[in-house]
Structure 1
Amino acid sequence: MITKLQILKHDNGGARIGVEIKDMVKNLKWVTDLNYSAGELTFDIVNGKDPIIPAMGAIVDFAWDNKDIFWGFVFSAECTSDTTVSVKAYDFERYLKSEGSVVFQSGTLGDRYSNVCRRFGVPFHIKEQPTYRVPAEVCDGKTGFDMIKSAIDKTYSATGEMYCIVANHMYIELRRAPIPTRTLLVIDTQNTMSDYTYSESIDNAANVVQVVQKNTDNSQTKTATATSDTGDDPATTSFTIASARGNTIRTWGQIVKVVNAKNKANWAQMVQQANDELKKRNISERKLTLDCMGDTSLIAGAGANVKIKDFGKTWTNCPILKATHNFGTDYTCSLEMKVGTKWQENSL
């Protein structure tokens, strides 16, 4: 049950003055999304008298069953003729949509994350400190999310370790993903799951990767007529190609992906790059959406064990990409999850 839902504002002395609205609220919904979006709390205030319209930027403090769930700020409020006020609030991650231009020196993801949070005034913690050093980078006119995402993607590509940003009441945290839950959570159709959709796709997969390096011999004379669409001269241009082939060609057919070689890569490095790319791409993409009984530990970035008895599928520690909690008499949760190793939408 709702144990606290307050709208707080600041007075001139810095103290917080609050209005308790937990008994006036309907349609309370909390959404967390791993795709670099702020946590969102929406609700309707039904007072029956004069409408209660919170000020823009007012603080919203929400607890469920005596557990702090959400601390955020009002970004919109809409009042209708029946005096119902619909409110939308975001947690601290919303301020990572602020933009800036920064030159980052080489450092860890934690260094980048700390820099960005301080720059935009966002309180933060680092729960697990990455050790990989991200190369220096120029971010011009980028959002805070973009700046951190770039470092997360580079860390994942180099180490296979995924990190995520999650809000924990009055802070945001950098966490290793998936975040383990305190208890072993098994969801199945015979127990807590009310509905599900499972899909598998190879639309974005590849089982042959070619790493290509373009060579140009400037000592040769260019022809006047034989040019390619790119402006390269066929008489002086050649390609060095390192290939890697996967074990799914016989079943999927040949799906080829071409990537450019890293700058100044030698042959051995090109072969390694091809093998690394193949490992990431020679995988089918499996998604799972499901509805289940509510559990506040099921947030975007967390992992859950899933068992579907209908067709004998069991997966462990499946990352949650998006979680929608509907609080009410029947507290339910809708989850979007990835199954398997290739789980984040934009990891490639």
Structure 2
Amino acid sequence: MEFTVQVDSTLYDISELVTKVSYTDKLNDGCSKLEFSYINDNLVITNGSTVRFKYNDSEIFNGHVFKVSRDDKKEISVTAYDQLRYCKAKDVIVVDGDTTTTLVKRMCHYFNLRTGTLTDTGYVLDTNVHDDKTWLDMIYAAISDTLLNKGSKYALRDEFGAITLRNLEDLRLNLILGDESLCYGYDYEKSIDDEFYNQIKIYLKGETSRDSQFVSAKDETSIEKYGMLQYFEASDENSNASKAKKKADILLKLYNREVETLSLECLGDTRIRAGTSFYAYISDIGLNKSLFVKQVTHKFLPNHTMSLEVSI
């Protein structure tokens, strides 16, 4: 384990002083977080200090300290976040001829953040003005729009001090988790109670009521089995019937399936981050396919383990 912290202009190696380390990463839901504790009266880590953490030569975290606390046992607890923490700032953001990729570039330029791989999404977003929203919320909305219109999902994340935009297809691992393979516990649920829809209805508002129309997509077999569960949205004035029908079909494909949630307790693998995918095999629930990670928490001391929430 290699653990360094830079306080002001001085670099300290605290690898032997750290008593707890936990790293949490969520898919398109804010910055990653590193929490650690150490005992040393002579070294006081301050907010704004730079923290870098490697484990078995794998680059885990590179960010800055935002919280420092201590107790009567002289144990100092520290919380650090990656660069995306700065992008929680609200602003008025105009989207005009942009893709998700160009918006990420604009965001990083505005906050003076270092960038890494920024995959070209290739989808031009609708012209819009985002008022009183954070940069992160605006980027996540762009990722969602790109998914609905292109069918490709992307992950915005910080990779050891470099902001990246990755297609989830490029984050597949040659790894199996499940029966007799690193996994030692799981919780599984299947539901139609939330985010399950078998009829999609989009309202296109025209200049007059006569010009307005509905566009829909539905699965009769699913409706017969579960009852009609409808998703509805009103479209903006720039939408047309053809575009709305395409969106309705994509939404039906995304939402017309039982929502399965699965959490896993496993031995640690440093390659696992939010957005990465692996192959899962759990015979008890008939699971035998590729999954991607929605959230992961790694704990490194005394042994490396990880808790995963995955999308099925």
Q: Which residue of 1 is the match for residue 17 of structure 2?
A: 24
Structure 1 unaligned spans of 5+: 12-16, 218-235, 340-348
- Tell me which of 155, 159, 168 is aligned to 1:164: 155
Q: Which residue of 2 is the match for residue 329 of structure 1?
A: 302
Matched ranges for 1:154-303 at <5 A: 154-182=145-173, 184-203=174-193, 204-213=195-204, 240-246=213-219, 247-263=221-237, 271-303=245-277
Q: Is the 8 A contact 2:62 2:160 kept in 1?
A: yes
Rounded to whole Å, the distance in 1 between the matches of 2:256 and 2:172 is 29
Q: Which residue of 2 is the match for residue 313 of structure 1?
A: 287
Rounded to whole Å, the distance in 2 between the matches of 1:201 and 1:314 is 19
Distance 1:104 1:253, change over 3 A: closer
- Tell me which of 123, 137, 142 is aligned to 1:146: 137
Identity of aligned residues (%): 25
Rounded to whole Å, the distance in 1 between the matches of 2:82 and 2:243 is 43
Rounded to whole Å, the distance in 2 between the matches of 1:332 and 1:69 is 14
Distance 1:205 1:138, change over 3 A: same
Rounded to whole Å, the distance in 2 between the matches of 1:273 and 1:180 is 26
- Tell me which of 58, 64, 67 is aligned to 2:55: 64
State the shift of 1:271 in Å.
Answer: 4.4
Distance 1:113 1:293, change over 3 A: same
Rounded to whole Å, the distance in 1 between the matches of 2:138 and 2:211 is 36
State the shift of 1:29 in Å.
Answer: 0.5
Rounded to whole Å, the distance in 1 between the matches of 2:213 and 2:96 is 32
Rounded to whole Å, the distance in 1 between the matches of 2:206 and 2:112 is 48
Q: Aligned pair 1:132/2:123, yes or no?
A: yes
Q: Secondary structure at the match of 2:73?
A: coil
Look at both structures and tell me which one has the larger radius of gyration over its CA atoms: 1
Q: Is the 8 A contact 1:8 1:18 kept in 2?
A: yes
Give me the TM-score of the superposition, normalised by structure 1: 0.82
Distance 1:44 1:139, change over 3 A: same
Distance 1:108 1:44, change over 3 A: same
Give me the TM-score of the superposition, normalised by structure 2: 0.91
Rounded to whole Å, the distance in 1 between the matches of 2:293 and 2:57 is 24
State the shift of 1:324 in Å.
Answer: 0.3
Q: Secondary structure at the match of 2:149?
A: helix
Rounded to whole Å, the distance in 2 between the matches of 1:76 and 1:266 is 49
State the shift of 1:41 in Å.
Answer: 0.7
- Supply the RMSD in Å over aligned alpha carbons: 2.2
Q: Is the 8 A contact 1:293 1:331 kept in 2?
A: yes
Read off the aligned partner of 2:308 and give its amino acid letter: L
State the shift of 1:283 in Å.
Answer: 1.9
Q: Secondary structure at the match of 1:36?
A: coil
Q: Aligned pair 1:104/2:95, yes or no?
A: yes
Q: Which residue of 2 is the match for residue 229 of structure 1?
A: none
Query: Would you say how many aligned residue pairs link Structure 1 and Structure 2?
Result: 310
Rounded to whole Å, the distance in 2 between the matches of 1:166 and 1:273 is 27
Q: Secondary structure at the match of 1:134?
A: coil
Read off the aligned partner of 1:312 and give its amino acid letter: G
Q: Is the 8 A contact 1:177 1:301 kept in 2?
A: yes
Q: Is the 8 A contact 2:64 2:80 kept in 1?
A: yes
Rounded to whole Å, the distance in 2 between the matches of 1:264 and 1:102 is 19
Read off the aligned partner of 1:252 and give its amino acid letter: Y
Rounded to whole Å, the distance in 2 between the matches of 1:249 and 1:169 is 47
Structure 2 unaligned spans of 5+: none
